Amino acid sequence: MAFEIILMIIIAYLCGSLSGAIIICQLMKLQDPVQHGSHNPGATNVLRISGKLPALLVLLFDMLKGAIPVYIAYRLGISPFFLGIIGISACLGHIFPCFFHFRGGKGVATALGMMMPIGLDFTGCFVLTWLTTLLLTGYSSVAAIVGFLLAPFYVWLFKPELTLPVTMLSCLVIIRHNSNIMRLFKGEEPKSFIRKRHKLY
């Protein structure tokens, strides 16, 4: 089993290193997300510079590269703790991709993808928290930070054996948002969308 675990950790990292934003933008002949917008190769930046369809494709791509290795490991009978470690490896691949000069995204979509095969219950709580925060604030970065702050609590409620790896993952994702946190304090963080206000006559 040790060999299978090590092999899946390597596979997960390599899968994570496939940047959905860069690959899809190249295939669709769109602007390079590393060179435009926030320079972050993720779905949010692709949404800003190229629109909804490319961003949706990037989101699905990045989720799948987290979900597939974890699901394969689950089918192999690997224990829940190491499923979490394998998921973290996929996120590390997204954040530090060996195929793209180790310059990657924030890991939010990949982290969401890795959680889905091992617990739809706490994944649902995370998605609900993310969506609610996004709708209330308009900031995808704030939604991600709040979601991952609460993710270990959700996991502890439903699958406590996964609390440690998910806590590690949450810390990693939040640390990757340090530049967003600084921009939020300075009032310089761009919103993902602006809620329309209707005047009362």
The 3-class secondary structure across the chain, one letter per residue, is: CHHHHHHHHHHHHHHHCCCHHHHHHHHCCCCCCCCCCCCCCCHHHHHHHHCHHHHHHHHHHHHHHHHHHHHHHHHCCCCHHHHHHHHHHHHHHHHCCHHHCCCCCCCHHHHHHHHHHHCHHHHHHHHHHHHHHHHHHCCHHHHHHHHHHHHHHHHHHHCHHHHHHHHHHHHHHHHHCHHHHHHHHHCCCCCCCCCCCCCCC
CA 146 – CA 184 distance, rounded (Å): 14
Q: pLDDT value at position 193?
A: 58
Q: What is the pLDDT of residues 143-178, one digit of tens each?
A: 999 999 999 999 999 989 889 888 999 999 999 999
Q: pLDDT value at position 103?
A: 87
Q: Tell which residue, 97, 94, 108, 90, has the closest CA to residue 180.
A: 108
CB distance 110 to 90 below 8 Å: yes
In a 13 Å sphere around the CA of 198, the CA atoms on its Cβ side amount to 2
CA-to-CA separations, 29 to 37, 79, 105, in angstroms, rounded: 16, 42, 20
Whole-prediction pTM: 0.86
Q: pLDDT value at position 63?
A: 95
Counting as low any pLDDT under 50, the low residues of the chain are 197-201
